[in-house]
Amino acid sequence: MHSAKLTKGLRAAGRRVTRTREAVLNLLERTPHPVSVTEIFENLQKEKVAIDLVTVYRTVHVLKDLGLVAQIDLHQEGHARYEIKEGRQHHHHIRCQLCGTIVDLLLCPLKKITKIIEAQTQFIVDDHTLEFTGFCPKCR
């Protein structure tokens, strides 16, 4: 219910540990898939946590800057999602085109590919995004 990483990170950045930051991070820790700002806001409201939507936007930015949370932009969704980074290995997602269910993929086939791309393009590769879409077991 209380994150040492959060306190440490905020302090190191000259920022403050607040109720809202703990509430948002805690919600993300309990949520097993990437969630939108609106979903964070609505879920906190259900739990009677008083927070403004704007504060949620600002908070996910702070958590992202601290490296505690990752921003996930799924194809054609029109809004960002966020998921906890701490304690999770690098992974990608697959999303159902019909019901919107998002499932984690625990493999990433791109480590070897990166070197090939660097040789081909003369870029230094820093990051990548990968997403699959299709039909989930219920909708197929």
Binding site for DNA (CB under 7 A): 10-11, 14-21, 36-38, 50-52, 54-55, 57-59, 61-62, 78-80
Nearer to its own copies, 1 or 122 (CB): 122
Distances (CA, A) of 137 to 18, 22, 94, 106: 41, 35, 12, 18
Partner touching 110 among its own copies, DNA, none, CB below 5 to 8 Å by kind:
its own copies
Q: If binding is defined by CB under 8 A, does position 119 make contact with its own copies? A: no
By CB under 8 A, which span of 21-29, 35-43, 48-56, 70-78 interacts with its own copies? 70-78
By CB under 8 A, which span of 5-13, 20-28, 35-43, 118-126 interacts with its own copies? 118-126
Q: What is the DSSP string of 6-22?
A: HHHHHHHTT----HHHH
Q: Are the C-beta atoms of 81 and 88 separated by less than 8 Å? A: no
Q: Which residues of 29-53 are buried (b: 16+ CB within 10 A; e: fewer)?
A: beeeebbbbebbbebbeeeebebee
Dihedral sign, CA of 120, 116, 118, 130?
Answer: positive
Partner touching 19 among DNA, its own copies, none, CB below 5 to 8 Å by kind:
DNA
Q: By the criterion CB under 8 A, which residues form the site for its own copies? A: 71, 73, 75-76, 94, 96-97, 103, 105-107, 109-110, 113-114, 116-118, 120-137, 140
